[in-house]
């Protein structure tokens, strides 16, 4: 379900296919390769080749029940700050208002460190992460397919039409070749400047990673915790200095304490303020020599000493299996 919601590949070995009309379930199976999943709305529970779902997948405030066990509440992004989360909630971005609210919230977070509370809860899933993070640039992957009630084949629940029931998978792949990344939401809202807006804000993937990072922090600790790079810096960094990659670890600041959080493993490391500043700078500029030059005045040492300290910190965490620059 995560792959179907987000469009991020790799959640399952194959692709996920959502079928609105049970009569098209047989055709969907012909598109499903090894490791693929076929979700069928009001599908036959006795059919072991599909996963039956019920309810509504595209009506805000309604629920989609997957395989009789997983309940997903569907909400428009603009409504999320006003929703009392109970179960797993999908925050979909389908209108101009949704997109504007998303960019506004992201800019507020990077500027002041304020995050929408509902977005950092464990049971919130932000839709179209593949488009937002740039992970869905290769449409040949066909991470997901959506077969509408009338038999149209789309690139996702709100994607571009690339075929119809009866078309072969190779033909569908060919039609997906020329699609722009924002075609993932073309059936709902297709502003040609989405990709331009995302490219103008190269820190969006880091913001998305920050939403995930908050989910590792106990709720009772969040009010007194800040993430470096979001409204706070230990050496006076700005967006012009660059931002860490989405895969770089985070530094949590709570009063005078600093903790490194590796979201890939969930590991936490208590570190000193100098080490925290070093990791922040190296993650931002992704070059130890450059980081040393901006750190030297803050650490009150020469650039050479700062570089030696930075190399020691980076090497220490590399030996622990943590890539400070987030390059891998």
Q: pLDDT above 90 covers what percent of the chain?
A: 80
Q: What is the pTM of this model?
A: 0.93
Average pLDDT over residues 138-162: 89
- pLDDT of 186 above 90: no
Torsion sign (Cα): 75, 76, 79, 81: positive
* pLDDT score, position 328: 57
Structure tokens at 31: 């598109």
| Cβ contacts of 82 within 8 Å, gap of 6 or more | none
Per-residue pLDDT tens digits for 45-70: 999 999 999 999 999 999 999 999 99
Q: Average per-residue pLDDT in the chain?
A: 93
In sequence order, what E strands does 35-159 have?
37-41, 51-55, 63-66, 70-76, 88-92, 124-126, 144-147, 152-154
Sort 149 into a burial class: Cβ within 10 Å, 0-12 / 13-18 / 19+.
Answer: exposed
Dmax (CA) for the chain in angstroms is 72
Per-residue pLDDT tens digits for 115-126: 999 999 999 999
* pLDDT score, position 171: 95
- List Cα–Cα distances, 253 to 94, 234, 299, 316, in angstroms: 35, 10, 18, 20
Per-residue pLDDT tens digits for 213-232: 999 999 999 999 999 999 99
- How would residue 190 be classed by pLDDT, with cut points 50, 70 and 90? low
Rg (CA), the chain: 22
| Cβ contacts of 62 within 8 Å, gap of 6 or more | 55, 56, 73, 74
Structure tokens at 311: 């190399």
* pLDDT score, position 138: 59
Residue pair 172/145 in contact by the 8 Å Cβ criterion:
yes
Per-residue pLDDT tens digits for 269-296: 999 999 999 999 999 999 999 999 999 9
Distance of alpha carbon 261 from the chain centroid? 17
Average pLDDT over residues 222-248: 92
Domain edges within the chain: 2-199, 219-319
- pLDDT of 261 above 60: yes
- How would residue 139 be classed by pLDDT, with cut points 50, 70 and 90? low
Structure tokens at 82: 């006003």
Q: Which residue has the higher pLDDT, 25 or 133?
A: 25
Average pLDDT over residues 25-52: 95
* pLDDT score, position 270: 97
* pLDDT score, position 184: 87
Q: Which residue has the higher pLDDT, 179 or 262?
A: 262
């Amino acid at each position: 379900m995560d792959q179907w919601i987000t469009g991020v590949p790799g959640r399952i070995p194959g692709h996920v296919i959502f079928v609105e009309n049970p009569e098209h379930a047989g055709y969907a199976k012909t598109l499903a390769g090894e490791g693929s999943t076929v979700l069928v709305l009001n599908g036959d529970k006795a059919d072991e080749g599909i996963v039956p779902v019920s309810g509504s997948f595209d009506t805000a405030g309604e629920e989609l029940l997957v395989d009789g066990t997983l309940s997903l509440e569907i909400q428009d992004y603009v409504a999320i700050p006003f929703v009392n989360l109970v179960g797993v909630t999908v925050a979909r971005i389908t209108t101009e208002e949704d997109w504007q609210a998303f960019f506004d919230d992201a800019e507020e977070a990077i500027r002041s460190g304020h995050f929408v509370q509902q977005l950092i809860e464990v049971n919130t899933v932000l839709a179209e992460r593949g488009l937002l993070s740039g992970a869905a640039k290769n449409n040949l992957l066909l991470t997901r397919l959506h077969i509408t009630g009338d038999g149209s084949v789309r690139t996702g629940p709100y994607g571009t039409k690339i075929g119809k029931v009866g078309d072969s998978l190779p033909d569908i792949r060919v039609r997906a070749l020329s699609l722009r990344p924002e075609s993932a939401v073309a059936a709902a809202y297709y502003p040609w400047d989405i990709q331009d807006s995302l490219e103008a804000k190269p820190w969006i993937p880091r913001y998305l990673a920050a939403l995930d990072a908050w989910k590792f922090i106990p709720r009772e600790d969040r009010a007194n915790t800040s993430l470096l790079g979001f409204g706070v810096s230990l050496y006076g960094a700005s967006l012009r200095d660059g931002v860490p990659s989405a895969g770089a670890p985070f530094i949590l600041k709570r009063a005078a304490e600093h903790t490194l959080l590796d979201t890939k493993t969930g590991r936490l490391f208590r570190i000193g303020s100098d080490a925290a500043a070093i990791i922040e700078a190296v993650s931002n500029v992704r070059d130890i020599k450059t980081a040393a030059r901006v750190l030297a005045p803050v650490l009150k040492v020469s650039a050479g000493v700062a570089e030696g300290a930075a190399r020691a910190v980076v090497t220490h965490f590399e030996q622990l299996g943590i890539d400070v620059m987030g390059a891998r």
